[in-house]
Amino acid sequence: MRSMLFIMRKHLKNIIKGVFKKPLLLIGYLFIAIFVVIMLIAAFAMPSGLIRKGSNDLYIGIVTIVFIFMYYTTFKLGIDKGSTYFRMADVNIAFTAPIKPNHILLYGFIKQLGGTLLFLFIALCQIPNLKNNFDMKPYGALMILLATIVYALAYPLISMLLYSWATKKSGRKKLLKRVIDVFAVVIVVFVLLSLAQTRNIVDTLGAVFDNPIAKYFPIIGWTSSIAIASINGFTTEFWVGLFFMFALILGAAVTLYRMNLDYYEDVLEGTEYLEAAVKAKREGNNITFGIKARENVKQKMSGTGASAIFHKHLLELRKTAYVLFFDRSSVSVIIAAIVFRLVMPDESQILSLSMILLFALYMLLLLQAQGRLGSELEKHYIFLIPASSQEKLFFATLGEHIKNLFDGTVLFILSGILFKAPISIIVSCIITYTLFGAVYIYTDILSRRLFGRVHSKGLLIFLKVIVNLLILIPGGIAAGIVVAITESELLMICALAGWSFVLGVTLFAFSAGILNNLETAS
């Protein structure tokens, strides 16, 4: 075990040393540290429920759905590929060394504890928003973080056991996946049936998720009950959930630790998958990672010179989309925006589609912070095409603009019909959505020119999100002034669109040189 602890100690030490060697990196991490401190203060010190006291049913519904979604996706992937705490370096160096497998597993488990920090960070960012909208207990933030830790510790252990069981006999994988799918379908059916009766989303959430079966349901109910203690207090469900999750984690860990361990094969596929995912993320391909390309797309490659890139992108977009350009990111933007609108406070509903627009822009920022162009810059082809840098940049991003226009059109026509919004608002929302997409894309490119190949992709994304938010502030202020003076939602959206157009053009002009050579891109 000492040798495994040596790896962890050295790893941490070298990361810290590396950060101190690069001032820009240090500033970036300091920035993140300050952000975390502010979020921590906000999460723990800010009063709760001052702006609005949302119903407990809504809170319980949101929390339970989040955990259902997280467990569903991680278990399905876990059954298919196995779960892993390890990287290929562990497989190649540690697995083949004369170290007891259960010591290596323990090392993996300790590493996973470090991995929970990311989940905690994501959860931490949601707490101020939850506190604004719900009447949380003083220890509410702590309960949310506790539930997050419990989830982050439980899912890899359970996935590993499931995979281990599923791979021992053919047909088990399929069976397990079917069981999980049936379970998901049952929940959806319950929600729809209840919605048909109540015709109210909050009442539906209450009816489906605020009942003993849901609260005591193994794993999902137990984990949710811990988070729900943030508004309901230390109820019986909380103690039951905490006890069972603790027992489950301990039991699974001891089972894996004590069994006649031959788990290397079980984690090998998962580790290879993780390694491929990390590589895809580094190359900017994570938006399409894991998606099977369609082979029956009839579109042919066309275009000459720089426009060939555009046609290639169109073909790629079509191949990775379900229909036309409708893909995984379209689904997430649309579902998230509409759900957000449904659970939005009534007083905000006078602003028609604006709230959906703002939320969709936020979602787009997170999705596009990764940037599809990144994968293009990792390869040499784009630099070799005999065309000007401006021309290449235009065509290399045109596909993304069309994709955003497509997503925006689907989202706002759909929500426009749902919420009976005027056509002028729908059109202005679509245009604004597309223009903001352009701002995000060109900020991404400019960030690459400014910061270069930052050693951490996470840090680069963080910086890009911050830069985007900063440059969009004037547009937000202008929109606020316009709506205050004119009380017109249309003009407010137009103000946002106008500012994003100016920004988009300016950013394009500054970032065009990125395709001059590989050095400017990295």
Smallest separation (angstroms) from another protein to the CB of 79? 13
At 349, which amino acid appears?
A: Q
> In this structure, how many other beta carbons lie within 10 angstroms of the beta carbon of residue 245?
23
Under DSSP, the state recorded for 321 is S
Residue in 37, 38, 41, 92 binding another protein, rule: CB under 8 A = 92
Decide if residue 21 touches another protein (CB under 8 A). Answer: no
Helix (H, G, I), strand (E, B) or coil at 497: helix
Contacting another protein within 139-178 (CB under 8 A) = 170
Residue in 15, 122, 250, 342 binding another protein, rule: CB under 8 A = 15
Asked if residue 275 lies in contact with residue 358, where contact means CB atoms within 8 angstroms, the answer is: no
Binding mask 225-264 for another protein (x = CB under 8 A): -------------------------------------x-x
Smallest separation (angstroms) from another protein to the CB of 120? 21
Decide if residue 381 touches another protein (CB under 8 A). Answer: no
Smallest separation (angstroms) from another protein to the CB of 82? 13
Query: What is the full DSSP assignment across 4-52?
Result: HHHHHHHHHHHHHHHHHH-HHHHHHHHHHHHHHHHHHHHHHHS-SSSS-
Q: Which is nearer to another protein, 98 or 386 (CB)?
A: 98
Q: Which long-range contacts (CB under 8 A, 24 or more apart) does 203-208 make?
A: 203/57, 204/61, 205/57, 205/58, 205/60, 205/61, 205/62, 205/65, 206/55, 206/56, 206/57, 206/58, 206/60, 206/61, 208/61
Decide if residue 10 touches another protein (CB under 8 A). Answer: yes
Q: Which is nearer to another protein, 21 or 199 (CB)?
A: 21
Rounded CA-CA distance 221/187 in Å is: 13
Decide if residue 487 touches another protein (CB under 8 A). Answer: no
Rounded CA-CA distance 62/471 in Å is: 32
Residue in 99, 343, 466, 478 binding another protein, rule: CB under 8 A = 99
> In this structure, how many other beta carbons lie within 10 angstroms of the beta carbon of residue 170?
8
For residues 367-387, one letter each, b for 16 or more C-beta atoms within 10 angstroms of the residue's C-beta and e for the rest, the string is bbbbbbbbbbbeeeebbebeb
Options 13-21, 137-145, 151-159, 300-308: segment touching another protein (CB under 8 A): 13-21
Residue in 22, 100, 178, 379 binding another protein, rule: CB under 8 A = 100
Residue holding tokens 């603790």?
246
Rounded CA-CA distance 104/3 in Å is: 10
Contacting another protein within 436-455 (CB under 8 A) = 455
Residues, the chain = 522
Smallest separation (angstroms) from another protein to the CB of 254? 22
Find residue 134's DSSP bridge partners. 54
Options 9-17, 155-163, 189-197, 290-298: segment touching another protein (CB under 8 A): 9-17
Residue in 26, 37, 89, 518 binding another protein, rule: CB under 8 A = 89
Token code pair at residue 473? 């502030």
Decide if residue 117 touches another protein (CB under 8 A). Answer: no
- Which residues have CB under 8 Å from 487's CB, separation 6+? none
Options 84-92, 316-324, 326-334, 368-376: segment touching another protein (CB under 8 A): 84-92
Q: Which is nearer to another protein, 102 or 198 (CB)?
A: 102
Q: Which is nearer to another protein, 19 or 62 (CB)?
A: 19
Decide if residue 88 touches another protein (CB under 8 A). Answer: yes
Residue in 65, 94, 105, 208 binding another protein, rule: CB under 8 A = 94
Residue holding tokens 């988009």?
504
Smallest separation (angstroms) from another protein to the CB of 51? 43
Considering only CA atoms, give the Rg of the chain.
24
Rounded CA-CA distance 79/165 in Å is: 9
Decide if residue 93 touches another protein (CB under 8 A). Answer: yes
Smallest separation (angstroms) from another protein to the CB of 102? 12
Q: Which is nearer to another protein, 278 or 413 (CB)?
A: 278
Residue in 29, 67, 95, 155 binding another protein, rule: CB under 8 A = 95
Q: How many residues bind another protein (CB under 8 A)?
A: 30
Q: Which is nearer to another protein, 53 or 100 (CB)?
A: 100
Decide if residue 20 touches another protein (CB under 8 A). Answer: no
Rounded CA-CA distance 70/120 in Å is: 14
Decide if residue 279 touches another protein (CB under 8 A). Answer: no
Decide if residue 380 touches another protein (CB under 8 A). Answer: no
Options 96-104, 151-159, 219-227, 404-412: segment touching another protein (CB under 8 A): 96-104
Residue holding tokens 């931490």?
124
Rounded CA-CA distance 240/255 in Å is: 22
Chain residues binding another protein by CB under 8 A are 2-3, 6-7, 10-12, 14-15, 18, 87-89, 91-100, 170, 262, 264-265, 268, 275, 455
